[in-house]
Amino acid sequence: MPQFTTENVCYLKHGEREMMARVFKPEGAGPFPCYIDLHGGAWNNGDLEDRTSLGEYLASRGTVMVTMNFRHAADGYPTTLQDINYGVRWAKAHAKELKIDPSKVALGGVVRRSSGDAVGHAPERLALCVDPRSSRCRRQRQGGGHAVAGDQSDPPLQ
């Protein structure tokens, strides 16, 4: 019998298109550390379905895992980064219901089947704009930056 639950949640909408997250939560009250997992796919494919085994493994050992679908290269740059940025902020904003300790959130992903995007490029680019209220982040957005999610308002920072 699993010692965790799994739920699919829409974390972001672009018109009628829903971006889904799959959340693997350990049993218990929490809060638990969180690993936000970015699937591979060389910016062109990949899906949260690819990451079930890891989610089950981590949740059964006391870590919440959130894996997210996000837009791909065909949707244009920087949509992937916008969705991931929003997803990280969404998870922290919903920390209580997700049983996450917002001070213990890690971001990573898979290199297999990838051009290194999930493990290297996306977290690196997101790190440039951790706090959208910062002047650095505002400058990036004004220059075609990647810090805000399409047609959604950003969830509050934790």
pLDDT in tens, 58-78: 999 999 999 988 888 777 777
What pLDDT does residue 153 have?
46
Residue 117 has pLDDT above 80, yes or no: no
Q: Is residue 96 part of a domain?
A: yes
Residue 4 has pLDDT above 90, yes or no: yes
Q: Is residue 123 part of a domain?
A: yes
Q: Is residue 34 part of a domain?
A: yes
Percentage of the chain beyond pLDDT 90 is 35
Q: Is residue 19 part of a domain?
A: yes
Q: Is residue 149 part of a domain?
A: no
Over residues 143-154, mean pLDDT? 40
What pLDDT does residue 82 have?
84
Q: Is residue 155 part of a domain?
A: no
Over residues 79-100, mean pLDDT? 90
- Among 10-14, 57-61, 136-140, 144-148, the minimum mean pLDDT is found in 144-148
36 against 74, higher pLDDT: 36
Residue 158 has pLDDT above 80, yes or no: no
Q: Domain range spanning residue 46?
A: 4-142
* Residue 99 and residue 32 in contact, taking contact as beta carbons nearer than 8 Å: yes
Burial of 26 (0-12, 13-18, 19+ CB in 10 A): buried
d(CA 88, CA 156): 11
Over residues 46-67, mean pLDDT? 86
d(CA 103, CA 54): 22
- Can you give the pTM of this predicted structure? 0.72
- For β-strands 32-38 and 17-26, DSSP reports them as unpaired
Q: Is residue 147 part of a domain?
A: no
Say which CATH number the domain at 111 has.
Answer: 3.40.50.1820
Q: Give me the number of domains the chain comprises.
A: 1
Q: Is residue 9 part of a domain?
A: yes
Query: Token digits for 98?
Result: 């997700």
